[in-house]
């Protein structure tokens, strides 16, 4: 007989303090140790993912001048990052509505973009604003988080179920959003995204529990699933999400430099209520079960081979160890230059900014960073090759932390299914 339970039944167990709730990390460890709880022994699994999510945009409203100073905004720049005025003209009000793309680049520095700007806003830093009005007048001001009347994140495609890893078999380096710096040729390195068996959509195929209107945590605050993302398909689903920017935790959102300029990363956690045996069975997926194609970064869809997420993550470090004693004061520090999240500056590694991408350990000339990011064995054109993993564009540590926060919020009755 097929077993079923309802959301109301699970919520009652939560209210009574009797629900069995696991993070995806906890649940997968039990599976790998042959101690997986049965259907009757698990009510909710909180899954999470963190990575570069290019579809991120913010809608902001803030005041830049006294009323009557200009008709309406034509151009708006925040720390040099262009935002798009409208849709409301706010005629003569002195305030602007803007749409800011997470992938927008500063007109002064393409490595600084919307993701870095949003993080600085949430950190309470002062932001330089320049508005060019419809009549050609320029208004300049400084704002911070307290001056933003309304802010909302809209993610047009987030939490992809599956990705592609990339390497470069060509001779010349290739600039790409899929690598923190131009990816060197001759198969010198591999870059990938995806949190594997922690990812919500990997654990709920096909959308049995993850439904439109459901609550999620987006960058640390409660948000909602608006529906499928703009490039979602049965084979490669993703989600459209939204939440209040002002309530977000800056730890979970930020900028990520790539070979094509600044990008934006987000962190998402989604609860999977175990309503039936099919949902339970889907939660049993492990990293080694999840296929990861490897493609030519220049062709993107030209397959070179296949691997899996176990080879990406199993036994590998989530953060580097920094040995300041090995750090020479180079004329131009390569790590400070290429660190995608600007976590390393003036011989200091800031773990609030560190993404665990692995770039420092793979490029420091003095081996001041110790981090095992792994290697991948592939057969390409009949030849066996071993390619080092040099850049991760997803972060399991943040994904795990947000999943744990969601678990605790559910247990504390701060988050209702």
What is the span of the domain harbouring residue 121? 56-154
3-state secondary structure of 396: helix
Spatial neighbors of 368 by CB under 8 A, at least 6 apart, are 322, 323, 324, 326, 327, 335, 360
Residue with tokens 């001779």: 171
256 inside domain? no
Write the DSSP symbol of residue 232. Answer: -
What is d(CA 399, CA 268) in angstroms, rounded to the nearest whole number? Answer: 7
Pairing of strands 261-273, 215-218: antiparallel
101 inside domain? yes
Number of domains in the chain: 1
From 356, 364, 317, select the one nearest 340 (Cα to Cα): 356
67 inside domain? yes
87 inside domain? yes
pTM of the model: 0.96
336 inside domain? no
Distance of CA 83 to the CA centre of its chain: 21
From 17, 160, 154, 45, select the one nearest 403 (Cα to Cα): 45
Spatial neighbors of 257 by CB under 8 A, at least 6 apart, are 111, 180, 263, 338, 339, 340, 341, 342
Q: What is the pLDDT of residue 384?
A: 92
Q: What is the pLDDT of residue 26?
A: 98
pLDDT per residue of the chain (417 residues) written in tens, 0 to 9: 568 899 999 999 999 999 999 999 999 999 999 999 999 999 999 999 999 999 999 999 999 999 999 999 999 999 999 999 998 899 999 999 999 999 999 999 999 999 999 999 999 999 999 999 999 999 999 999 999 999 999 999 999 987 899 999 999 999 999 999 999 999 999 999 999 999 999 999 888 899 999 999 999 999 999 999 999 998 889 999 999 999 999 999 999 999 999 999 999 999 999 999 999 999 999 999 999 999 999 887 778 999 999 999 999 999 999 999 888 878 789 999 999 999 999 889 999 999 999 999 999 999 999 999 999 999 887 889 999 999 999 999 999 999 999 999 999 999 999
Q: What is the pLDDT of residue 1?
A: 54
219 inside domain? no
Spatial neighbors of 320 by CB under 8 A, at least 6 apart, are 349, 354, 356, 358, 360, 361, 369, 370, 371
The backbone torsions φ and ψ at residue 415, rounded to the nearest 5 degrees and listed phi first, read: -140, 115
In order, the DSSP letters of 125-170 are: --EEEEEEETTS-EEEEEE-GGGEEEEEEEEEEES-S---EEE--S
100 inside domain? yes
From 80, 87, 91, 74, select the one nearest 137 (Cα to Cα): 74
Q: What is the pLDDT of residue 331?
A: 78
136 inside domain? yes
């Amino acid at each position: 007989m097929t077993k079923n339970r309802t959301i109301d039944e699970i919520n009652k167990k939560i209210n009574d303090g009797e629900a069995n709730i696991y993070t995806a990390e906890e649940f997968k460890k039990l599976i790998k140790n042959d101690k997986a709880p049965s259907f009757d022994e698990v009510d909710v699994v909180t899954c999470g993912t963190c990575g570069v999510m290019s579809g991120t945009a913010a809608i902001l409203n803030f005041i830049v001048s006294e009323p009557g100073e200009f008709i309406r905004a034509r151009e708006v720049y925040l720390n040099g990052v262009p935002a798009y005025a409208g849709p409301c003209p706010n005629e003569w009000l002195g305030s602007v509505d803007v749409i800011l793309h997470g992938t927008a680049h500063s007109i002064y520095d393409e490595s600084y973009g919307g993701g870095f700007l949003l993080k600085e806003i949430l950190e309470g830093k002062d932001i330089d604003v320049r508005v060019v009005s419809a009549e050609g007048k320029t208004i300049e001001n400084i704002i911070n988080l307290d001056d933003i009347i309304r802010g909302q994140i809209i993610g047009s495609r987030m939490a992809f179920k599956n990705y592609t890893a990339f390497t470069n078999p060509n001779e010349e380096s290739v600039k790409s959003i899929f690598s923190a710096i131009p990816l060197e040729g001759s198969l010198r390195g591999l870059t990938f995204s995806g949190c594997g068996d922690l990812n919500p959509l990997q654990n709920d195929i096909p959308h049995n529990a993850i439904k439109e209107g459901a609550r999620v945590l987006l960058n640390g605050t409660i948000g909602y699933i608006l529906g499928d993302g703009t490039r979602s398909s049965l084979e490669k689903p993703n989600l459209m999400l939204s939440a209040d920017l002002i309530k977000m935790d800056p730890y979970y959102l930020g900028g990520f430099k790539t070979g094509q300029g600044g990008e934006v990363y987000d962190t998402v956690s989604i609860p999977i209520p175990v309503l039936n045996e099919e949902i339970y069975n889907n939660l049993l997926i492990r990293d080694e079960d999840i296929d990861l194609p490897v493609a030519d970064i220049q062709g993107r869809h030209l397959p070179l081979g296949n691997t899996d997420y176990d080879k990406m993550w199993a036994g590998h470090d989530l953060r580097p160890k920094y040995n300041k004693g090995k750090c020479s004061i180079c004329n131009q520090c390569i790590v400070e230059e290429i660190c995608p999240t600007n976590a390393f500056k003036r011989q200091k590694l800031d773990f609030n900014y560190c993404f665990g991408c692995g770039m420092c350990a793979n490029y420091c000339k003095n081996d001041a960073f110790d981090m095992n990011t792994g290697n991948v064995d592939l057969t390409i054109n009949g030849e066996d090759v071993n390619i080092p993993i040099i850049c991760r564009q997803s972060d399991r540590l943040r994904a795990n932390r947000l999943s744990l926060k969601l678990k605790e919020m559910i247990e504390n009755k701060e988050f209702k299914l």
